[in-house]
Amino acid sequence: MLQDLQNLVWMEKKITAEILEKLQVVYDQKDFAGYSNLFEYMVKGLGYSEATASLRQSCLRLLREMPELKDKVREGKLSYTTIARSYKFIKEQPTAKKRATLSSLENQSSRKALEILEKQSPAPEIQVQKRHYQDRVRLTIDLSHEEYEKLQRLKALSSHRYGSYEELIKSFIAKAHKKYEDDDFKQSRSKNPRYISQRLRNHLLKQANYRCQKAGCTQDHHLQIDHIQPVARGGQATAENLQVLCFYHNQQKACH
């Protein structure tokens, strides 16, 4: 039985490699079977969960940039999962730095690799300082020169609507927040157990008070929707079977 299990694991790795190669062809040919992009095709066309589709897409991006990573996988030094999960942490790095980071993850377990990535993850480039007053909060934001130039361009292009940076930024906040306001969820019409509508997502976030629902965790960043009972075990995309977890606890659950 152990030999059979080992053979199945080997087949799983081979199949994953073949799937990624096929997805690469689909992306290169821009043939998404009528869907608008590769991510939507993977979720709605192939039935992947959004989390799995995101990991697949992240892995493809790094493999396109560094094809030699396939050899690392074949040699057993890296897994496709580790490569995919590293993308979030290293996507802004130059290629040489990405190679160095991925080299530090070789022969590490998924959990250890995640710990290494979190320690190496740089602080956000945009720094915000705030000062509270009786009726408002004043923010001081440090931007890179490139970010400031983009903000200036946006202000110029929208000057017919917004006369100041304050008005422009307030409009961004209002538009971004509106995306999460519609939480009037009743029942999903989709038969795909992996599909989670925006309304259902908003409903779950509101019910969780916009925080990770793992006991003892108060994280309100990098929140993800998780199936309590996995789809592979018959779990459905219902409000009762879904929970809000932060990135760390969602990945920790996947490792068990």
For residue 187, tell me if it sits in a domain.
no
Please give the sequence-ordered ranges of beta strands (E in DSSP) within 58-145, or none if there are none.
127-132, 137-142
Q: What values do phi and psi take at 188, rounded to 5?
A: -70, 140
For residue 96, tell me if it sits in a domain.
yes
Q: Based on the domain organization, do 116 and 221 belong to the same domain?
A: no
For residue 185, tell me if it sits in a domain.
no
Give CA–CA dist 56/50, Å, rounded. Answer: 10
Q: Based on the domain organization, do 173 and 63 belong to the same domain?
A: no
For residue 191, tell me if it sits in a domain.
no
- pLDDT tens digits, one per residue of 2-49: 777 777 767 877 787 788 888 888 888 888 888 888 888 888 888 888
Q: Based on the domain organization, do 212 and 227 belong to the same domain?
A: yes
For residue 186, tell me if it sits in a domain.
no
**C-alpha radius of gyration, the chain, whole number:** 21
Work out the widest C-alpha separation in the chain, in whole angstroms: 71
Does the pLDDT at position 205 exceed 60?
Answer: yes
How confident is the model at residue 74, as a pLDDT? 82
Q: Based on the domain organization, do 14 and 114 belong to the same domain?
A: yes
Q: Based on the domain organization, do 168 and 115 belong to the same domain?
A: no
- pLDDT tens digits, one per residue of 111-132: 888 888 877 765 455 566 778 8
Q: Based on the domain organization, do 39 and 64 belong to the same domain?
A: yes
The b-or-e profile of 185-218 (16+ CB within 10 A means b, else e) is beebeeeebbbbeeebbbbbbeebeeebbbeeee
Structural tokens at position 105:
């993850």
Q: Based on the domain organization, do 85 and 101 belong to the same domain?
A: yes
Q: Based on the domain organization, do 37 and 94 belong to the same domain?
A: yes
Predicted TM-score (pTM) of this structure: 0.48
- pLDDT tens digits, one per residue of 79-118: 888 888 888 888 888 888 889 889 998 998 878 888 888 7
Q: Based on the domain organization, do 113 and 17 belong to the same domain?
A: yes
Q: Based on the domain organization, do 115 and 31 belong to the same domain?
A: yes
Q: Based on the domain organization, do 20 and 64 belong to the same domain?
A: yes
Q: How many domains does the chain have?
A: 3
Alpha carbons within 13 angstroms on the beta-carbon side of residue 111 total 6
Give CA–CA dist 189/97, Å, rounded. Answer: 45
For residue 190, tell me if it sits in a domain.
no
Average pLDDT score over the chain: 84
Residue 22: domain span:
2-120
